[in-house]
Each structure stands twice: as structure tokens, then as C-alpha cells.
Amino acid sequence: MGVKSGNGGSRVRRGKNGEATVESINFGPLATWIGFNLRMAQESAFQAFSRQSQEIGESPGRFATLTLIARNPGISQTELSQAAGRDKSSLTPVIEGLVRRGLVERKRLNHDRRAYCLNVTRDGKKALSTMMRCARRHEKNLDKIIGLRDRARFLEILKRLAAGFD
């Protein structure tokens, strides 16, 4: 069959104007693949959080970074990057921003003049508690979607996945 690339469509249900709605899309193997759906879920949740935290002038990245510094006073940038699962170079601008806005204080260590020693300032703590309220709202939404029944199990699997590829 000299298939001339016409629309041999497998899509059946279509919107009233003939466009393919998301419903009518054929996802093939993607539909049941973890990788793809993990990406979609993360993207969706991330966007939702971005929108929320944008209202208080923050980004998810800055929020996670600030939380980790607050919980681990004196942490270095490399340690931080490993904890946050990002390359250390990605952290340079983030920390720069936090320092510039006076939320984080950065000092050289005495016994190792290469490394920095990060701490959250008083202002940083205030900012953090605002963010925290915002993040809790977001988490509540997520919890509602997941359901209490499955939450713990779901979380545990996420952790295994995060750890699973070293």
C-alpha cells in the first residue's frame, strides 16, 4: 500500500469543529509509560505551584533552596546542590539572588577558603514563613488529588525513583 501519508487517522472522537481534543488523542504506549506520565504530572504540579508562588514574588527553586539553607545552617553550595538534586552551577544565580535581596548570608570558611558557608538572615526567615504558607496551600491541593489512603505509598515510590539512578 503506497501510503501517501494522508490522514489515516486512528482518532475517532473529535470536537465539533473537527479538531482533536485531548480526549481524542491516541497516546499509544505513552499512555501507560511511567516516564511520560511522571513528566506530565510533575509539569502540571510545578506550573500550579509556580503560579501560586509567583503571587508572592518567589520561584519554586528559590523556595526549596531557602528551606534547605534554613534547615542546614552553614551548608555549602555543593552540599546544597546535591540535596536539591541540581547541578552546582545552577545554584550560582539562585544564591546570588537570595544574597542580593538580603535573605541569605554568605561567608567564606576559615579552614577552607574555597567553600562558602550559607545562612538564612532574619529577613530570610520572614520571607520563608510567607512562602511556607503558600507551599502548604499547594500541598493541600495535591493531597486532595492523591487521597490520604495512597499518599504515603505514593511518596515512598517517588523517593525510591529519586534514589534509584545513582
Q: Which residues 18-57 are close enough to bind a second copy by CB under 8 A?
A: 19-20, 22, 25-30, 32-49
Q: Around 44, how many Cα atoms within 13 Å sit in the side-chain half-sphere?
A: 9
Kindly compute the dihedral angle of the four CA atoms of residues 136, 142, 148, 151, in this order, to the nearest 10 degrees. -100
Please report the beta strands in the chain, taking only residues with DSSP state E, as ranges in sequence order.
104-108, 116-120
DSSP result, 57-71: T--HHHHHHHHHHHH
User: What grid cell was written down for 66?
Assistant: 531557602
Q: Where in 3-22 is the site for DNA (CB under 7 A)?
A: 19
Q: How far is the CB of 77 from DNA (least distance, A)?
A: 3
Q: How far is the CB of 62 from DNA (least distance, A)?
A: 7
Print the binding letters for residues 121-160 with a second copy: x by CB under 8 A, - otherwise. Answer: x----------x--x--xx-xxx-xx---xx-xxx-xxxx
User: What grid cell was written down for 140?
Assistant: 493541600
Q: List, in order, residues 6 or more apart from 41 with CB less than 8 Å away.
A: none
Establish if 119 lies at the interface with a second copy (CB under 8 A).
Answer: yes
Nearer to DNA, 74 or 155 (CB): 74
26 binds, among a second copy, DNA, none (CB under 5 to 8 A by kind): a second copy
Q: Where in 44-73 is the site for DNA (CB under 7 A)?
A: 47, 59, 61-62
Among 45, 68, 83, 115, binds DNA (CB under 7 A): 115
DSSP result, 74-106: TB-HHHHHHHHTS-HHHHHHHHHHHHHTTSEEE
Give SS3 for 16.
Answer: coil
Q: Where in 92-111 is the site for a second copy (CB under 8 A)?
A: 105
2 binds, among a second copy, DNA, none (CB under 5 to 8 A by kind): none
Q: How far is the CB of 18 from a second copy (least distance, A)?
A: 9
